[in-house]
């Protein structure tokens, strides 16, 4: 049986990549991770991927024009037969070109209950705002920043004694659970998108 081929794109630590890789290894997510890619050649997540035996690639992203850069990335993905792309802490905006090439097949995880607190430092934004519930969101990627249709969310209560680190750590635990679950649902193919709503069959 052939399984969908995934690429994971990351820029840093790579803990969400590790959670996805575990889920694939354990058979919870029927897929193959064909490539782990980074816009930061020194990203710790790449090193972890190499140690786990995955193929990796990196292209330094800073100062590169967005579409020209993404054309190179898409070429790397196509050469490996990648059908689905999971952004896992990939801190570079995708060009319209990339999104068009993989329309409806790009997932992202964001550490807030979107549409609250898109962009950078979502956990700090939540604390500063004073919300009582934070969380994380897995969503399809479209041309908007952190704005595509929502696949799954998890709620994390904010405690009075939370600081950015404690809150981020509790959200991260949920991210590691939620991302594989959302990916499994989507790869199962039993959903439809109505407007902004992702409806599971
Ligand atoms: C995660 O918290 C992820 O939700 C966030 O970056 C972190 C990456 O951690 N992503 C974003 O903020 C995207 N807008 P990781 O490298 O350990 O997976």
Give Cβ neighbours of residue 119 (< 8 Å, ≥ 6 apart): 125, 145, 146
Give Cβ neighbours of residue 99 (< 8 Å, ≥ 6 apart): 106, 141, 142, 143
The confidence score (pLDDT) of residue 126 equals: 98
Whether 139 is catalytic: no
Name the residue at shortest CA distance from atom 14 of ligand 1: 110
The confidence score (pLDDT) of residue 1 equals: 73
The confidence score (pLDDT) of residue 201 equals: 86
CA distances from 35 to 15, 59, 187 (A): 16, 13, 17
- CA of 1 from ligand 1 middle (Å) equals 32
Question: What is the rounded average pLDDT of the residues 186-190?
Answer: 96
* Ligand 1: nearest atom to the Cα of 171: 2
Instruction: Check if 1-103 and 108-201 are the same fold.
Output: yes
Per-domain residue ranges for the chain? Answer: 1-103, 108-201
pLDDT tens, position by position, 26-37: 999 999 999 999
- CA of 63 from ligand 1 middle (Å) equals 22
Q: How many CA atoms lie within 13 A of 17 on its CB side?
A: 32
1-103 belongs to CATH 2.40.340.10: no
Q: How confident is the model at residue 5 (pLDDT cuts 50, 70, 90)?
A: very high
Regarding pTM above 0.75, the answer is yes
Q: What DSSP line would sit under 30-67, residue for residue?
A: --EEEEEEESSTT-HHHHHHHHTT--EEE---TT--HH
To the nearest 10°, report the CA torsion of 168, 47, 65, 91. -10
DSSP at 11: S
Fold adopted by 108-201: Rossmann fold (3.40.50)
* Ligand 1: nearest atom to the Cα of 110: 4
Name the residue at shortest CA distance from atom 8 of ligand 1: 89
> What is the CA 28 to chain-centroid distance, rounded?
17
pLDDT tens, position by position, 119-158: 999 999 999 999 999 999 999 999 999 999 999 999 999 9
């Amino acid at each position: 049986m052939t399984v969908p081929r995934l690429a994971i794109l990351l820029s840093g630590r790579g803990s969400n990549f590790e959670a996805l890789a575990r889920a694939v290894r354990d058979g919870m997510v029927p897929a193959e991770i064909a490539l782990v890619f980074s816009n930061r050649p020194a990203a710790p997540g790449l090193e972890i991927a190499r140690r786990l035996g995955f193929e990796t690639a990196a292209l330094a992203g800073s100062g590169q024009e967005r579409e020209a850069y993404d054309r190179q990335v898409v070429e790397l993905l196509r050469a490996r037969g990648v059908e689905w792309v999971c952004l896992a802490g990939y801190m570079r905006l995708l060009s319209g070109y990339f999104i068009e090439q993989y329309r409806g097949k790009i997932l992202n995880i964001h550490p807030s209950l979107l549409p609250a607190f898109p962009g950078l430092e979502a956990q700090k934004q939540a604390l500063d705002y004073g919300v009582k519930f934070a969380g994380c969101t897995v969503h399809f990627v479209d041309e908007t920043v952190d704005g595509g249709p929502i696949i799954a969310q998890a709620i994390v209560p904010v405690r009075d004694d939370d600081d950015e680190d404690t809150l981020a750590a509790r959200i991260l635990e949920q991210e590691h659970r939620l991302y594989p679950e959302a990916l499994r649902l989507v790869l199962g193919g039993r959903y439809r998108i109505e407007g902004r709503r992702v409806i599971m069959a």
